[in-house]
Amino acid sequence: MKDIPIFTGCDGIATLILSQIPYRGEAFALIRSVFTNAAACIRECESFCRAAGADQVYFGGHADFGAFELYASIIEREAPSLPQTDAIAVPTSEFAWWAETYNEKFKAIPAAKYCITPENPYIIKHNGEIIGIGQVGGNTIRSVAALQKGRGADCVCALARLCDGQPIRLLCAEQNLSAMRLYDRLGFSRGERKEVWYKKTLAF
């Protein structure tokens, strides 16, 4: 299912992210502009997304979401450098296994996207044993997940060695508390919010 970059309704314009519906049952409506009534625009987007098969619709963008509940806030984090580790990140061609592992690890993370075919996938090893997975692009760690308890720092630091330049960047949902604490310990700053998504409440 394809996303709709420009969805023009009677009450506004939005970007509808529908590609996650077949996998997570979720759709996202990013309100770009409201013509007259924000509530009507939101309802129109929700109706379209649910007709496309979404069980849950989240909203963001240019509208008043004061009556909504915060679902996910994605912030950028940066670190000038990271500690050394004996773990190493190596490319893998086991795409199906990697994607299955990624989806299992990220299924409970708010606003995480389902992975079908991974780009630049790595496995992270220590003493020949796989301890995590991740992705790197440029100077950004695009994803990271430890497969053993207590090995998160090693996984992050191993991927950081592959980053092209500094500072090392990544995105993290503030609701992912364990990851946020790990990045705090590793010295990542807390930057601006890149995405904010809300869900409707009974009050709306």
- pLDDT tens per residue across span 118-136: 999 999 999 999 999 999 9
Residues belonging to the chain? 204
Across 166-191, average pLDDT: 97
Q: What pLDDT is recorded for position 156?
A: 99
Q: What is the pLDDT of residues 80-122, one digit of tens each?
A: 999 999 999 999 999 999 999 999 999 999 999 999 999 999 9
- Does residue 74 have a pLDDT over 60? yes
Q: In what order do the strands lie in the sheet with 129-137?
A: 4-8, 12-17, 26-34, 56-61, 193-199, 69-79, 168-173, 140-146, 129-137, 121-126, 88-91
Across 27-35, average pLDDT: 98
- Does residue 204 have a pLDDT over 60? no
Question: How is residue 14 written in tokens?
Answer: 């939005």
Could you tell me the pTM of the whole model? 0.90
CATH code of the domain occupying 75-193: 3.40.630.30
Q: What pLDDT is recorded for position 203?
A: 54
Q: Where in the chain is the domain with CATH 3.40.630.30?
A: 75-193
Q: What pLDDT is recorded for position 201?
A: 78
Count other Cβ atoms within 10 Å, centred on residue 5: 11
Across 173-201, average pLDDT: 96
- Does residue 190 have a pLDDT over 70? yes
